[in-house]
Structure 1
């Protein structure tokens, strides 16, 4: 049995968009689908590889695109360019996420009623917004995300289950922001978990940040490994 990668170009507000879907080539029955939402750099090879990891676990993984086809950033002073455009209009970002989810749900190997979303850094904010706005996912997993609320009202109750994997030393998510998120999710009647990892900061899953000397940022192997295990356990429970 082999894992197949397929590039999908699809429409959405401000599109076109381009993502990569991964699935087992011998799939005969619909599988749960998992949307993968990228960090500040946009959809890239590491996200495609994560979609493949999900396919090996028996899901269909879709590394989606919310910036737009050909819009990708590189590390450096201008790397926030496309992310900041999205953050300036959270309702538009929500609609782009909805378009990406619709592509996953409409893919032939996917059980449209059994989908989830995972995201990293900026993508972590995105998947929290998917839960907040009531998009049709059973669960959201945020890895070292950003917790600022959007400028539109949350749905209540928040139906999606939520797992937040947080580096305790993350300067973008100080303790006050974490407790505010917990209060928000509690107020929204969500089924939520927050896992905090000591001696880990922002981007703790991002191998491209190994050796970072910026305080509170950079790859941390234990937090990466433990958070991925937590995600796998969460998805297993979600799709029982």
Structure 2
């Protein structure tokens, strides 16, 4: 066989249903214990530990130790982007979970995609910023314009500091429920952090969903208005 990335190894790691549930649970951006992940995966603690060992070895997750517990999280934003893209592919292919109800509606509306905003609200942020010229899209890159830099700085976001970090400032992420792009990268993370800190949104303790307060929804629509495509 020709040399190249061993994508089959990565696919095998993600492909196990229990490991897929573990990775999906970690898409909330929270570090979780083995016990919490066992509940999400629907398997025993011992089996969960075995799955986590494989995911650690494959570079898919990392952990931090605090006291007696280990807290697991996704290893990088690249892993999160891959999981989100696979969610989109699964949805497009008709491979959807049969569970329905308010939680699914909430996830479609607004949710965490690892560390940034996704769902209808996430797409609104991206499209509003593109149509006002704050984000520049070309075939090779997504970048923040001069006007976008001023916009972010006016929200109290230190764009210069973000630009010096390891993560890209702006990155496109395909939204699995909307089939459109939302904003990832360090700017996407900073915008969600801003919304949380200023009380625009509240996080669901049991899922990746986030819900807007009445004040938050008004501010969100004022700052990220829905505009007609030009």
Q: What TM-score comes out, normalization by structure 1 length? A: 0.29
Q: Based on CA coordinates, which of the two structures has the bigger radius of gyration? A: 2
Bigger relative contact order, structure 1 or 2 (CA pairs below 8 A, ≥6 apart):
2
Q: Give the structure with the larger strand fraction.
A: 1
When normalised by structure 2's length, the TM-score is 0.30
User: Which structure: greater helix fraction?
Assistant: 2
